[in-house]
Amino acid sequence: MIATRRGATDSTPGSRSTVVEPARGAGGPILAVRNLEVVYQDVVLVLRGVSLEVPQGEIVALLGANGAGKTTLLRAVTGLLGVHRGRVTKGSVELEGRRLSGENAASIVRRGVAQVMEGRRIFAELTVEENLRAGGFTRTRAEVRESHDRVLDLFPVLAERRRSTAGYLSGGEQQMLAIARALMAEPRVLLLDEPSLGLAPRLVEQVRDTISELNRQGVSVLLVEQNAAMALAIASHGYVMETGRVVKDGPSAELLADQDIQEFYLGVGETGRRSFRDVKSYRRRKRWSG
């Protein structure tokens, strides 16, 4: 069941958008980010009160231009901020209502959250098999064997190439391997950071179909993408981030029909704006002058 959201008007200057209030649908969201603030190196404030939710069993898209803070948000969820000299200074992350923030990365994986990082970070020198086994590092041997068979059923192309060195796989196969490796942890929530980046259109479709299939099998997904058309095609809900804040959110169908999103993210009626906010202020100026 899709959890409903109630929007409240954002008072941020230059923003007419809605911010999210916690959805209280049946059982609540599987993943909730509440009013999160993140600072790097004790001085660089990058997330400024971000809230978002992934309802159980759904795909949620997170859109935003370069530098908006999407990867930082994922790092905060998976406990990897410390590696980058960042920390949460306010707010929290919850999995099924229980706090995740403060736990270390391995324990977050054990609790059922796995991430596929941007840029297909596979172990290029290892074989496909070895990469998969590495993905099961938090689990017992028997569990790894079981997941291994299940994951290879899902990715026949990897089954064929299980003894190949991962670095020799094509870009699309490497992305599949990165996803497959994350699945070896048997996550209930999968975070994907720009899985379509740099892939040919046919492979983007393959990645999209794979994400849909995983979701059908019960995995909830937070999908960070610049390819808004692809992400909103499979997500039930989307959020747009800019300079460390959520500036808009809504059901995917609504976002796809939104004129600002169409201009900046879907390339419809191009005006050459450099940011989502530019598109909006351009439109306001047009209205005022015209």
Question: Is residue 45 near ligand ATP by the rule CB under 6 A?
Answer: no
CB 32 within 8 A of CB 114: no
Question: Is residue 70 near ligand ATP by the rule CB under 6 A?
Answer: yes
Question: Is residue 214 near ligand ATP by the rule CB under 6 A?
Answer: no
Closest distance of CB 140 from ligand ATP, Å: 34
Rounded to 10 deg, the angle between the 128-135 and 171-183 helix axes is 30
Nearer to ligand ATP, 71 or 206 (CB): 71
- Candidates 37-45, 123-131, 143-151, 248-256 — which segment interacts with ligand ATP by CB under 6 A? 37-45
Nearer to ligand ATP, 48 or 162 (CB): 48
User: What is the rounded CA–CA span in Å between residue 5 and residue 22?
Assistant: 7
Nearer to ligand ATP, 74 or 211 (CB): 74
Q: Could you count the other beta carbons within 10 Å of the beta carbon of residue 274?
A: 9
Nearer to ligand ATP, 76 or 151 (CB): 76
Question: Is residue 282 near ligand ATP by the rule CB under 6 A?
Answer: no
Q: Could you count the other beta carbons within 10 Å of the beta carbon of residue 33?
A: 25
User: What is the rounded CA–CA span in Å between residue 42 and residue 44?
Assistant: 6
Q: Spell out the alpha helix ranges (H) of the chain.
A: 70-78, 105-110, 128-135, 141-154, 156-160, 171-183, 201-216, 228-234, 252-257, 259-265, 276-289
**Amino acid residing at 43:** V
Question: Is residue 289 near ligand ATP by the rule CB under 6 A?
Answer: no
Nearer to ligand ATP, 11 or 66 (CB): 66
Closest distance of CB 17 from ligand ATP, Å: 17
User: What is the rounded CA–CA span in Å between residue 95 and residue 273?
Assistant: 37
- Candidates 8-16, 59-67, 152-160, 198-206 — which segment interacts with ligand ATP by CB under 6 A? 59-67
Question: Is residue 72 near ligand ATP by the rule CB under 6 A?
Answer: yes
CB 159 within 8 A of CB 152: yes
Closest distance of CB 37 from ligand ATP, Å: 13
Question: Is residue 69 near ligand ATP by the rule CB under 6 A?
Answer: yes
Q: Which one-letter DSSP state was computed for residue 127?
A: B
234-273: which residues touch ligand ATP (CB under 6 A)? none
Q: Which residues bind ligand ATP (CB under 6 A)?
A: 40-41, 44, 46, 64, 66-72, 84-86
